[in-house]
Amino acid sequence: MTDRVLIIDFGSQVTQLIARRVRESGVYCEIHPFNRVTADSLAAFGPKGIILSGGPSSVTEAEAPRVPQAVFEAGLPVLGICYGQQAMVAQLGGKVAGSDHREFGRAWVDVSGECALFQGVWTKGGREQVWMSHGDRVEALPEGFRVVGVSDGAPYAAIADDSRRFYGVQFHPEVVHTPHGAQLLRNFTHGIAGCVGDWTMRAFRAQEIAKVRAQVGKGRVICGLSGGVDSSVVAVLLHEAIGDQLTCVFVDTGFMRSGESEQVVAMFRDRFNIRLIHRDASDLFLEKLAGVTDPERKRKIIGATFIDVFDEEATKAGGADFLAQGTLYPDVIESVSFTGGPSVTIKSHHNVGGLPDRMKMALVEPLRELFKDEVRALGRELGLPDDMVGRHPFPGPGLAIRIPGQELTRDKLEFDLSRGDPQRRPLRRRLASLRRPAAGAHGGRDGRFALLRLRLRATRRDLDRRHDRRLLPVPPRLPGPRRQPHHQRGQGHQSRHLRHHLEAAGDDRVGVRFQ
């Protein structure tokens, strides 16, 4: 069995980053809310180590979240991060208090002692950059602990109890602003907890195929295929596991990117030989959306219509015992509030959101333990091409919500910048260079930190001609010597150049610079 680490969540906004860093080191981990961890659940999960996340609460409050006592009695190594450190100290007999000196942002830790957590990374007497975010701080240590790191705002910035293998840090090692944070976490998972680090996509592939076969048996599975990364990987994985017991239904809404419908059919029906039902329902979707301009109403209408069409095609195909979905681990985490309350609606355009109850089928969710970049890695392991697994996310409603404030018509949907005026084509080809690079092409993790440059030499007249005003607003004049809407003129200012850095959170973060 693959080694496991349990991350207990106290509500930090960056808890998922802890999991990402741990998994990147080859160790499987899961995030469980603090109030759902018991001695029985610990024994069932079987972790080799436990990490306590940060959180927004104050240990000094009466109703503050507490670490389950079973954690300290399990005989397992424990690492407390920020709030996790404070909660551990308070519950084991130390003292935590509010401070007038709050730390947020870059800080420096003076390494005052050696410990297994710092092995090969930090040395005694060194001064290391970290990222802090706290108001309370530890003021007295429990018996058995010693201080191994201090900062201006935290006299116990890093602590260790080597005999019990309990460690705590006031800073956040999971964020990139702590340069050696990933190595510190690896020291905990591999060096202290003794994890081997053998969790790979090849191992996951074999494991999930066996689980799907055991769950499905001789039953039939139906999968809603959209052509996106998640459903594509699910379809290929399930086909490898159960072959012709799988039927995929591709509902073509008419709102996809140019040529995408044909690509989906060619890829899965011809290349992978998957049983595929292709339903062109574009006329029906346009009819349902007639006169609708509000984006949220569009989303809901598209979702309801998708369910109707999918249900109809599934019935025609003879029904099924199981419904396959591309649920990812962030969906699982975000659907459960760590306080036990109702979760907030994250996205209203999840096409298959109403299918399971309505269709009376059990769910098959082979990706529910994976983050997005792990799904992409699994797709490559399964033989999907890079242009499929590396594509940028495109929401289910697609072009329907990318034509804002307007009623949808066939004429608007069929408009394509790559057709018509020959002068558009060079710009189109240059825009195509912004496609996500292959893994490792730019040295970043999965290529997502690549900095891509595109120099636009189009004049306003060119842009007027190249954009259809029915769909796209004419871009504002590029800033020049006399027009500087984004920057104040100053020494070293480069006129006629517009630099705009776009950074999206999560897996698809990419910097795009227009010069």
Question: What number of CA atoms fall less than 13 Å from residue 159's CA on the CB side?
Answer: 29
CA 159 – CA 309 distance, rounded (Å): 59
Distance CA 373, CA 389 (A): 9
For residues 83 and 75, give the distance between their C-alpha atoms in angstroms, rounded to a whole number.
21
In whole angstroms, give the CA distance from residue 169 to residue 81.
5
Closest residue by Cα to residue 48 from 7, 105, 17: 7
CA angle 110, 112, 115 (to 5 degrees): 115
Candidate list 29, 82, 115, 248, residue with the active-site label? 82
Q: Which of 39, 53, 54, 182 is nearest to 120 (CA)?
A: 182
Closest CA to 88 of 80, 100, 96, 97: 80
180 given a catalytic annotation:
no
Tokens 């295929």 correspond to 225
Say which of 32, 115, 128, 172 is annotated catalytic: 172
What would the two tokens of residue 208 be? Answer: 């999930």
Catalytic residue among 103, 128, 174, 369: 174
Among candidate residues 83, 81, 25, 82, the one with its CA nearest the CA of residue 50: 81
Contacts of 333 (CB under 8 A, 6+ apart): 9, 15, 16, 31
Of the candidates 54, 50, 15, the residue with the CA atom closest to the CA atom of residue 189: 50
Q: Is residue 286 within 8 Å of residue 256, measured between CB atoms? A: no
Instruction: Assign 3-class secondary structure to 107-169.
Output: EEEEECCCCHHHCCCCCCCCEEEEEEEECCEEEECCCCCEEEEECCCCCCCEEEECCCCEEEE
Concerning whether 82 is annotated as a catalytic residue, the answer is yes
- Other C-beta atoms closer than 10 Å to the C-beta of 157 total 30
Would you call 172 a catalytic residue per the annotation?
Answer: yes
Locate 421 and state its tokens: 């005026």
Residue 464 sits at φ, ψ, to 5 deg, of -55, -45
Using CA atoms, how far apart are residues 35 and 353, in angstroms rounded to an integer? 27
Left if phi > 0, otherwise alpha if psi is -120 to 50, otherwise beta: which for 468? beta
Find out whether 250 and 264 touch, Cβ atoms under 8 Å: yes
Distance CA 33, CA 16 (A): 12
Alpha carbon distance, N-terminus to C-terminus of the chain: 52
Give me the amino acid identity at 220. Answer: R
∠ CA(141), CA(146), CA(151), 5° rounding? 85
Task: Kindly list the catalytic residues.
Answer: 82, 172, 174
